[in-house]
Amino acid sequence: MDLEGVELPEGFETTTDRERFQDAGVVVFHIPDVAGMEKLSKKRGQIWVAWSQECEVFYPRLRDPLFMRPFDLSMTYRRDSDVPAPYYNPRMIPALLEPARQKTKEKLAAAFVSNPVDRSGRTRYLKELMKYMEIDSYGKELKTKDLSEDTGKASKLATIAQYKFTLAYENAIARDYVTEKFFEPLIAGSVPVYLGAPNVDDFAPGEHCFIKVTDFRSPQELAEYLMILNEDSVAYEGYLAWKKRPLRPDFLRMLEAVREPAFVRLCRKVKENRMISC
């Protein structure tokens, strides 16, 4: 997490100098990179924080009570963390409200799957779906199309904006693990076809704004539905109507709760805990 430009509350400073470990009042451990914790001695009054935006499917120690015992606070993508550090924030609101660009039947569906790490079955599902419908796959996995210009996120969003649907498949399935895979198509004005968190409805900015893979019995059935929508402009536009309406109040409250950067909220949580323990 980039801390450049982040102003911490008074009395707090950050350092990556491990020589200052024993002097630190708070130590943040990035769980995916943690090694040799058993060699560390936690000084009296020191607060340890377990930090990770990676899915617990890949790092099950996040749900291991024995491993988590030394930690006082958690800072992860989960909403029940002491300090949630999710993939959404209030800065995305203006982009979500931007109108979707006009689509053509030729630009049906796009996919961006590059990470070969797959615990959701997304690569297998995508491969099967390709048998029944045209999909332009720009990622390293099952690639069929190249970006004319790759400038990072901007060119990805510009490409997604051309397509009626974007296959938004997470690399793992877990509660609250809703990443940019879901939010980028919504921002760009494409309809996400989502495979991932079972509670993804909680993260939707509007009603009827995405399609769940799990609502269909097979890739073939999903493909048939998407092709029906491709021919029925009224039914398809119904999936974009949310952009012309106020965003869901629950969604706005969820974003407002993380308005401040995660490390700022962590500092406030530490201060709050210390006041309670005094």
Task: Kindly state the tokens that stand for 259.
Answer: 């308005």
Say if residue 278's pLDDT is above 60: no
> How far apart are alpha carbons 219 and 261 in whole angstroms?
39
pLDDT band at 148; cut points 50, 70, 90: confident
Residue 147: per-residue pLDDT: 87
pTM above 0.75, yes or no: yes
> Pairing relation of β-strands 26-30 and 109-111?
unpaired
Q: What is the CATH number of domain 90-253?
A: 3.40.50.11660
DSSP secondary structure letters along 188-223? HT-EEEEES-TTGGGG-SSTT--EEGGGSSSHHHHH
Write the pLDDT tens digit of every residue in 54-96: 999 999 999 999 999 999 999 999 999 999 999 999 999 999 9
> How far apart are alpha carbons 61 and 57 in whole angstroms?
9
The domains of the chain are located at 18-86+259-277, 90-253
Say if residue 20's pLDDT is above 60: yes
Question: How many residues does the structure list for the chain?
Answer: 278
Residue 64: per-residue pLDDT: 94
Instruction: Calculate the average pLDDT of the chain.
Output: 94
Write the pLDDT tens digit of every residue in 199-214: 999 999 999 999 999 9
Say if residue 217's pLDDT is above 80: yes
Beta strands in the chain (DSSP E): 26-30, 47-52, 73-76, 109-111, 136-137, 165-169, 191-195, 211-212
